[in-house]
């Protein structure tokens, strides 16, 4: 039997010290989530309990337990972006996102001198005003 994609991912990292986070990142990237079946497979491979794996998955913001197929727009709402008026852009961005786009807040993209900033897919944007943010959300 061919090894599944999940098995391949686990095997690629299993020999590393502290392999759990690299494995979970790879699973999240490949499947968009880490579901109970994946948790079970990881636990088995690393000789951990399922509770231990689930504890780690649920601790970190980057890992999700169900797959959300919507496009993601991450808008920075930390202090430096607040100081540059990001909160005033939020209602318009939410209206543009509606149910179609997953508008998430993040705390700091490290672009703090030129906020408000956002990340969409692999792209980062800074110096956003309302019109530009709404345009990006609609394009997402």
Partner 1 sequence: MIVVRISDDAQAVALGADALAAAFEQAGCMVERTSSWGMHWLEPLVEIDGMGFGPARADDVAAILDGASAKAIGRIAEHPFIAGQQRLTFARAGKTRPLNLDDYAATGGWAALSRARTMVCADVVAEVIESGLRGRGGAGFPAGIKWRTVMEAPGTEKYIVCNADEGDSGTFADRMLMEGDPFQLIEGMAIAAHAVGAGQGYIYVRSEYPHAIAKLNAAIALAWQHIAPFQLEVRVGAGAYVCGEETSLLNSIEGKRGEVRAKPPLPALEGLFGKPTVVNNVLTLAAIPHIMAEGGSGLYAQLGIERSKGTMPIQLAGNIKHGGLYETAFGITLDALVNQIGGGTVSGRPIKAVQVGGPLGAYIHPSQFHLPFDYEAYTLADALIGHGGITVFDDSADMGAMARFAFQFCAAESCGKCTPCRIGSTRGVELIDRIRAGGKVHADAVEALPQMHNARKVGRSKAEELALLDDLMEAMQFGSLCALGGFTPYPVRSALKHWPEDFS
Which range of residues in 2-10, 94-102, 113-121, 129-137 is near partner 1 by CB under 8 A?
113-121
Nearer to partner 1, 4 or 107 (CB): 107
- The token pair at 69 is 């197929």
> Which letter does DSSP use for residue 73 in this model?
E
Nearest approach, Cβ of residue 1 and partner 1 (Å): 28
Residues 15-74 that bind partner 1 (CB under 8 A): 17-22, 24-25, 46, 55-56, 59-63
Query: By CB under 8 A, how many residues form the interface with partner 1?
Result: 41
Beta bridge partners of 104: 74
Note whether 74 and 67 are within 8 A (CB).
no
Among 96, 111, 136, 137, binds partner 1 (CB under 8 A): 111
- Percent helix / strand / coil, the chain, rounded to 5: 50, 10, 40
How far apart are CB 54 and partner 1 at their closest, in Å? 10
Closest CA to 22 of 2, 4, 46: 46
């Amino acid at each position: 039997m061919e090894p599944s994609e999940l098995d391949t991912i686990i095997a690629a990292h299993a020999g590393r010290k502290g392999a759990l986070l690299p494995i979970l990142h790879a699973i999240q990237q490949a499947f968009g989530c880490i579901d109970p079946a994946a948790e079970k497979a990881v636990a088995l491979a690393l000789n951990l309990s399922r509770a231990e794996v689930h504890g780690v998955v649920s601790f970190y913001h980057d890992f999700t337990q169900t797959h959300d197929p919507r496009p993601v727009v991450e808008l920075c709402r930390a202090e430096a972006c607040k100081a540059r008026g990001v909160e005033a852009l939020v209602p318009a961005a939410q209206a543009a996102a509606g149910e179609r786009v997953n508008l998430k807040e993040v705390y700091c993209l490290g672009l703090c001198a030129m906020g408000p900033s956002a990340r969409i897919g692999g792209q980062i944007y800074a110096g956003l005003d309302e019109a530009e943010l709404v345009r990006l959300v609609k394009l997402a």
